[in-house]
Amino acid sequence: MTLTNEAIAVLKDVSTATITTILLKKGLRNIWLRGAMPLKPGQPRLVGPAFTLRFVPAREDLATPASWGSPISTRAAIEAMPEGCLVVADAMGVTDAGIFGDILCARMAKRNVAGLITDGVLRDVAGVTRTGLPVWSRGFAAPPSVAGVTFVGWQETIGCGGVAVIPGDVIVADDDGAVVIPKALLDDVLAEGPEQERMEAWIVEEVENGASLPGLYPMNAETKARYDASK
């Protein structure tokens, strides 16, 4: 299914926690990008198609400041990013070299990129924050990217945070991190996500009213009947 504006609106009301539960029932356990956590709490939940970037270990003849002007560079990749995409960067979990700084993040924000997600780190934290670009990462480090990694390409299958990400996969990111929805399972998440959120909100209300958990979470037949009646 195509990621329409309507689908994005639905997913913005479905948490990453709910998505992981739905996909677990479909047999997918490895969809949460390890280490990619929000730069600051309370960033809006983001939904978008994955635009992938790939880094490999630094090699001295390739990872140089001169490489920033290469046709295969992070600068060139940014100019290829479509509006509304979520950039997913495979930095191999490297935490001592920032793959992006304030200038590159400012350009992404100017191009209306929805956000940046990486299992690595960024640099220029104050400047990145001022750009307004939502970021999920392992944190920040002062050294530039070429001190630890080499950029090698974009829009190819990557591994980010131990998860396979294919260009065009649907990404949802919130305070619990970022998850991948394979395109083939998007229909299922759209169909089941809102109902799962409604059901869990009802369960929370029951708990706040003093209900005990056995038979409530998960629901037994009697509780399910009460829930169905409440709808």
pLDDT band at 70 (very low <50, low <70, confident <90, very high): confident
Determine if residue 123 is labeled as part of a ligand binding site.
Answer: yes
pLDDT band at 1 (very low <50, low <70, confident <90, very high): low
- The total number of structural domains in the chain stands at 2
| Same domain, residue pair 175 and 204 | no
Determine if residue 226 is labeled as part of a ligand binding site.
Answer: no
Domain that holds residue 71: 31-181
Determine if residue 133 is labeled as part of a ligand binding site.
Answer: no
In this prediction, residues 99-105 reach a mean pLDDT of: 97
Determine if residue 119 is labeled as part of a ligand binding site.
Answer: no
Determine if residue 101 is labeled as part of a ligand binding site.
Answer: yes
d(CA 231, CA 227): 7
Determine if residue 28 is labeled as part of a ligand binding site.
Answer: no
pTM greater than 0.85 (yes/no): yes
pLDDT digits (tens, 9 = 90+) for 108-125: 999 999 999 999 999 999
Asked whether residue 210 is domain-assigned, the answer is yes
Asked whether residue 44 is domain-assigned, the answer is yes
pLDDT at 207: 97
| Same domain, residue pair 108 and 205 | no
CATH code assigned at 176: 3.50.30.40
| Same domain, residue pair 43 and 134 | yes
pLDDT at 63: 65
